A and B are shown apart, each in its own frame.
Chain A
Amino acid sequence: MIHEQLSVLLVVIPLLAAPITAMFNKLSWSWLITLLVCASCCFFSAWLLMDVANGEIIHYELGGWAPPWGIEYRIDALNALVALIVCIIALCTTIYSRKSVEQEILPYQHGMFYAAFQLCFLGLLGITLTGDIFNVFVFLEISSLASYALIAMGKNRKALTSSFHYLVLGTLGATFFLIGVGLAYAATGTLNMDDLAAKLPLVENIQMVHTAFALIIVGLALKAAIYPLHLWLPNAYSYAPTVISIFLSATATKVAIYVLIRCLFNVFSLEYVLTTWLPQIMTVLGAVAILYGSVRAIGQTGMKKMLAYSSVAQIGYMIMGIGFLSQQGLTASIVHLFNHALMKGALFMAAGLYIYRVNTATFENLKGMGREMPYTFFAMLIAALSLIGVPGTVGFVSKWQLINAALEQQQWGMVVIILLGSLLAIVYVWKLVEVLYFQSAEKIRVQGVESGSERIGSSPLGMTSAMWILALACIYFGFNTELTLGTAGTAVDLLFSAGGTK
C-alpha cells in the first residue's frame, strides 16, 4: 500500500509534522521531529528514484480526481532526482542545525523555526513532484513565504531588509508566473502540464500564448536568480541564519531551475522554444552570470557573501547548459544542479562552523582560522576544489559535460568563458585559502569592542559530521557518476522524446 502512496507521502509527512513542531516549543523535540521527517523523506525519495530510474513515469491522482481536472503528481527521472537532492540536503542541514540554531535563533522561536523549515522543505518537494502548473505556484508560495520568515530570523539586523527585498522581488516573480499560467489557462482551458503540452501547439501562434511564455520564464528566472534578476540573492543568503543559507543556497534556486526546464521542454515544446530568441539569450546570460558572479565573488570581504556570489556564477553554468538546447547541455545542467547542491551545501556548512566558533565570517576575523580548525578547513577545501572543477570531484563531471556540450555546437566563445569561469573560481578559492591558512591570526577591534573574542573552543560533532558527509559526497559522486549522469541521461531522453512526439 505504501508503495503507491510514496509520491504524496513526501509532501504529507512534513505537512503533518510542521504543525506538531510549531506546538512543541523545545529545541530538542523540534529538532528530533525534523530529523525524523527529513530522514523518512530521504528514504522515500530514494525509493521513488529507484522506481523511475529506468524511464518509467508514475502518476498519482490527488483525491482520486482524474488528471486534466484534478491535481496530478507526475514523477519521472528528472523530478525524482531533484526531490532526492532536496531531501539529502534537508537531512544533512537538520543534522547540522542543532547547535547552530541554539546559538543563532532566539529560544522562543525554536519551534517556529523548525516548523517553517519543514514548510519550506515541503513546498520545495511539492514543486518538484506536482504535474499541475497551478499547483506549482501554490507550493512556490508555500516555500517562499516560509523562506522569507526564515531569512528574517537572522541575527544581523540587515536580515530584515534583505528578507523584505527578497519578499518584494519574490512576490513579483511569483505574480509574473501566475499571470503567465492564467494566460495559458485562458488559451487552452487546462492547468495540467501534460494536457497543456498537448493543447498548446494548437493555439501556438496567438499573442496570448507568447505573452504567457514570456511571463512564466521571467517569473521563474527571478526565482532562480538568473543573472540580471539575481539581486535578491547575495544579501538574502549572507544575512540569513547559517542553517537557512545552507538549505536555500543548495535547494531553492535549483528547484526553480527544475521548473524552468519542465516548462521549456514539457509544457512548451522544444520546437516552440526554438522559434524564440530564448536559447541564445539564456546562453549569453549564463555566460555573463559566470563572469559577473565570479568577479564579484573575488571582491567580497566576507565568506558567506563570496559564496552567495559564487552561486550566481554557478547558476550561470546551469542556464548556459539549458540554453544549448542539446541533450548533452541539458544533462550537464541537471548534473550540475545536483552537484552544486552538494558543494555549496558543504561550503556554507564550513562557513557556518567558522561563524559558530568566531561569531563572524568576515575575512578579517577569519585569518589563520584554517590552521586552528584543520578538519573544517580540509572539508571546505574539497568542496572548494569541486567548485573550481578539479578532476576527481563532482564539479569536474558537470563542467566536463558542459564543455563537451559547447564543443559539440562549436560555441568556442562559451568554451573560453567556462574555462575563464574556472580560472576566476581559482582566484576566489585561493583568496579563501590564503586568509584561512596562510595569514597569521590577529585580534581585530570593531568600534572599540574586540570582535571574535567570544570564541568557542570546539566544533560540535553534528555540524562537522554533516559537513563531512557532503564533502565526501563531492568526491564519491565525482568518481561514481552512475546515479547522477545515468539518471540525468534518462531524464533528458524523456524530455526530448516528449518534445519529439508533439
Chain B
Amino acid sequence: MRDNLILRVTARILIPIIILFALYVQFHGDYSPGGGFQAGVIFSSAILLYALAFGLDTAAKVVPNQALIATASLGVLLYAGTGVVSLFFGGEFLNYSLLADEPTTGQHIGIIIIELGVGLTVAAIMLLIFFTFARRILN
C-alpha cells in the first residue's frame, strides 16, 4: 500500500471521534435517536477507516477474525441472556420491568444491555463482512 500521509494523519484524528460518537449513539439511544444497530455500524466504520488507511493486515492484528466471531456470538448471548434472566425472575421472556425493584429502572437497564448486545453483534458482523470480501479481492 502506498504511504499516504494525509490519509493516515486524518484517520488518526478521526478514529477516536468516530468511536466516541458511536458510544454516544449506543448509550444515549434510549433518550435520543440511535441505538445498537446504528452505533454498531458507526463503530465498525472507525475500524474500517483504520483498515483503509493502515492496511488490511494491520487492522486484522487489531481485530482478529476469531475475536470478531466471538464478539458477534457474545452480543447474541447478551441479548438472549437478558431475556432468560427475566424468565428466572418469574416474568415473560424479555420482560425488563423485573430486572430491578422499580419497573422503570428495570426497563432502562434491560434496554441498555439489549442494545449493547445488538451493538456488539452488528459491529462485529459488519467487520466480518468487510474483511471476508476484502481478503477475497486481495487474494
A-to-B contact residues, CB < 8 Å: 1, 5, 8, 12, 15-16, 18-20, 22-23, 60-64
Q: Are the CB atoms of A62 and B84 closer together than 8 Å?
A: no
Per the bound structure, the CA–CA distance linking A15 and B91 in Å amounts to 18
Contact of A23 among B70, B87, B97 (CB under 8 A): B70
Per the bound structure, the CA–CA distance linking A62 and B96 in Å amounts to 11
Which chain B residues border A15 with CB–CB below 8 Å?
Answer: 76, 80
Which chain A residues border B77 with CB–CB below 8 Å?
Answer: 16, 19-20
9 contacts between A and B (CB under 8 A): A12-B83, A12-B87, A15-B80, A19-B72, A19-B75, A23-B69, A61-B92, A63-B95, A64-B95
Binding site of A, secondary structure by majority: helix, strand, loop or mixed? helix
Which chain B residues border A18 with CB–CB below 8 Å?
Answer: 76
Per the bound structure, the CA–CA distance linking A22 and B75 in Å amounts to 12
Q: Are the CB atoms of B73 and A8 closer together than 8 Å?
A: no
Which chain B residues border A63 with CB–CB below 8 Å?
Answer: 92-96
New A-B pairs, 11, CB < 8 Å, besides A8-B87, A16-B84: A16-B80, A19-B74, A19-B76, A19-B77, A22-B69, A60-B92, A61-B92, A63-B93, A63-B94, A63-B96, A64-B92
Which chain B residues border A16 with CB–CB below 8 Å?
Answer: 77, 80-81, 84
Q: How large is the interface on B (under 10, 10 to 19, 20 to 34, 35 or more residues)?
A: 20 to 34
Q: Are the CB atoms of A64 and B91 closer together than 8 Å?
A: yes
Instruction: Tell me if B33 counts as interface (CB < 8 A to partner A).
Output: no
Q: Which residue of B lies closest to A112 (CB)?
A: B69
Per the bound structure, the CA–CA distance linking A238 and B57 in Å amounts to 39
Do A62 and B94 contact each other (CB < 8 Å), given the known contacts A16-B81, A20-B77?
A: yes
Q: Are the CB atoms of B87 and A5 closer together than 8 Å?
A: yes
Q: Are the CB atoms of A64 and B97 closer together than 8 Å?
A: yes
Q: Which residue of A lies closest to B90 (CB)?
A: A1
Q: Which residue of A lies closest to B98 (CB)?
A: A64
Q: How far is the CB of B111 from chain A (nearest CB, A)?
A: 11
Per the bound structure, the CA–CA distance linking A444 and B77 in Å amounts to 50
Per the bound structure, the CA–CA distance linking A62 and B76 in Å amounts to 18
Q: Which residue of A lies closest to B121 (CB)?
A: A19
Per the bound structure, the CA–CA distance linking A22 and B66 in Å amounts to 10
Which chain B residues border A20 with CB–CB below 8 Å?
Answer: 73, 77
